[in-house]
């Protein structure tokens, strides 16, 4: 029973980190209707900026995080402007964007391989990992609780942004129909940049926590595949779906690792993906775009 509670908390913590990544990815999907496979790159950029800033400013996690978030956000905007904007202005074939995003993901990963090397780097222990007793029933680490809390904070922030600000409203409108939003006077290019900035920022938060949890290396971005799976389970394009999907995935992973085996973790993840696609491809809350024939 104790292990169960333990794994549930672990699962929720992992899931909340996935949620930060999956939400950013779903946000981009809801506006541009394509899967940005380079999303993992933003995560890695955030991780590395944090790592190097920590080394430079003496382990002040606040400054390092701030820079990492800003840096990742800006990188995301740059990636969009350089790689995606020219394509989407010319054609509405999302396949080309998809492939370009694959290319960008490889580019970002390998820029780090080439410049700082592929070895694993541990972040200095700036995020507390001491054990914490939960209601006297189980022990978990402060890290897990913190990542859960941080995820809630940022996702609530996102929710506020989307529901209370002007640009948030524009983004919600654009997620229904980008073209019409543009015709209604929204500056589409600026909107897309803002969306990518937010996505990059959220990915960086996830990246920092993942770096602490798993150590930092250029291929860390591959974890984004799990965020994709989460987003699909929740429904591509749906933000609450991405959160729910991520929690489900985190729980599934941790419960499998705890009670079956660690190797089966990934198989369960992909198994869930395939099952979702077979049983209910639009996921739990996904949008289904019907075509007029």
Partner 1 sequence: MSGYLEGIIILICINSIAAMGVSLLTGFTGIFTLGHAGYMAIGAYTAAILTVRHHVPWLVAVLAAGTLAMIIAYMIGVPTLKLMGDYFAIASIGLGETIRLILENWQSFTRGARGFPGISNFTTLPVAAGFFLAMLILMRFLINGNYGRAFKACRDDFVAASLLGFKTAHYRVLSLAISGFYCGIAGGLMAGFLTYLQPVMFDMQKSTELTAVVVFGGLGSLSGSIIGTVVIGVVTEVFRPISQYRMLIYGAIMVIIMVARPEGIMGQHEIGPKLARSLFARKPANERDGNHG
Provide, rounded to whole angstroms, the least separation between the CB of residue 14 and partner 1: 19
Alpha-carbon span 11 to 93, nearest angstrom: 37
Provide, rounded to whole angstroms, the least separation between the CB of residue 25 and partner 1: 11
Provide, rounded to whole angstroms, the least separation between the CB of residue 32 and partner 1: 11
Under 8 Å between Cβ of 223 and 43? yes
**Shorter beta-carbon distance to partner 1: residue 60 or 110:** 110
**Shorter beta-carbon distance to partner 1: residue 74 or 111:** 111
- Count of Cβ atoms closer than 10 Å to residue 47 Cβ: 31
**Shorter beta-carbon distance to partner 1: residue 59 or 94:** 94
Provide, rounded to whole angstroms, the least separation between the CB of residue 117 and partner 1: 9
Provide, rounded to whole angstroms, the least separation between the CB of residue 79 and partner 1: 9
Provide, rounded to whole angstroms, the least separation between the CB of residue 221 and partner 1: 12
Residues engaged in binding partner 1 (CB under 8 A): 34-35, 82-83, 86-87, 90-91, 93-100, 102-107, 109-111, 113-114, 225, 228-229, 232, 236, 263-264, 266-267, 270-271, 273-274, 277-278, 281, 291, 293
**Shorter beta-carbon distance to partner 1: residue 108 or 174:** 108
Which token pair is 236? Answer: 């591509």
**Shorter beta-carbon distance to partner 1: residue 88 or 213:** 88
Provide, rounded to whole angstroms, the least separation between the CB of residue 124 and partner 1: 27
**Shorter beta-carbon distance to partner 1: residue 100 or 162:** 100
Q: What sign does the dihedral 263-265-270-275 (CA atoms) show? A: positive
Provide, rounded to whole angstroms, the least separation between the CB of residue 33 and partner 1: 8
Alpha-carbon span 62 to 53, nearest angstrom: 10
**Shorter beta-carbon distance to partner 1: residue 114 or 149:** 114
**Shorter beta-carbon distance to partner 1: residue 127 or 273:** 273
Q: What is the DSSP string of the chain?
A: -HHHHHHHHHHHHHHHHHHHHHHHHHHHHHHH-S--TTHHHHHHHHHHHHHHHHHHHTS-HHHHHHHHHHHHHHHHHHHIIIIIHHHHHH---HHHHHHHHHHHHHHHHHHHHHHH-S--BPPPS-S---EEEETTTEEEEHHHHHHHHHHHHHHHHHHHHHHHSHHHHHHHHHHH-HHHHHHTT--HHHHHHHHHHHHHHHHHHHHHHHHHHH-B-GGGGGGHHHHHHHHHHH-TT-HHHHHHHHHHHHHHHHHHHHHT-STHHHHHHHHHHHHHHHH-TTTTT--------
């Amino acid at each position: 029973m104790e292990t169960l509670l333990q794994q549930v908390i672990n699962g929720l913590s992992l899931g909340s980190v996935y949620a930060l990544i999956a939400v950013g990815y779903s946000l981009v999907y809801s506006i541009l209707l394509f899967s940005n496979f380079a999303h993992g790159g933003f995560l890695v950029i955030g991780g590395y900026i944090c790592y190097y800033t920590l080394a430079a400013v003496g382990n002040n996690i606040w400054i390092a995080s701030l820079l990492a978030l800003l840096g990742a956000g800006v990188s995301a905007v740059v990636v969009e402007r350089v790689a995606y904007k020219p394509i989407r202005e010319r054609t509405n074939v999302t396949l080309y964007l998809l492939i370009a995003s694959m290319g960008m993901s490889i580019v970002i990963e390998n820029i780090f391989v080439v410049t700082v090397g592929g070895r694993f780097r541990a972040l200095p222990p700036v995020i507390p990992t001491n054990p914490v007793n939960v209601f006297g029933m189980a022990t978990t680490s402060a890290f897990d609780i913190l990542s859960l809390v941080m995820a809630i904070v940022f996702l609530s922030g996102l929710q506020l942004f989307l529901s209370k600000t002007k640009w948030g409203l524009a983004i919600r409108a654009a997620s229904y129909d980008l073209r019409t939003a543009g015709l209604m006077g929204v500056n589409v290019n600026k909107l897309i940049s803002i969306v990518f900035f937010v996505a990059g920022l959220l990915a960086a938060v996830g990246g920092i926590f993942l770096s602490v949890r798993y150590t930092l290396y250029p291929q860390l971005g591959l974890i984004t595949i799990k965020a994709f799976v989460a987003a699909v389970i929740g429904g591509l394009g749906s933000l609450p779906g991405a959160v729910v999907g991520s929690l489900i995935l985190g729980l599934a992973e941790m419960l499998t690792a705890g009670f079956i085996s660690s190797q089966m973790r990934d198989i369960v993840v992909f198994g869930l993906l395939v099952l979702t696609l077979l049983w209910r491809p639009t996921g739990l809350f996904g949008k289904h775009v019907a075509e007029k024939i």
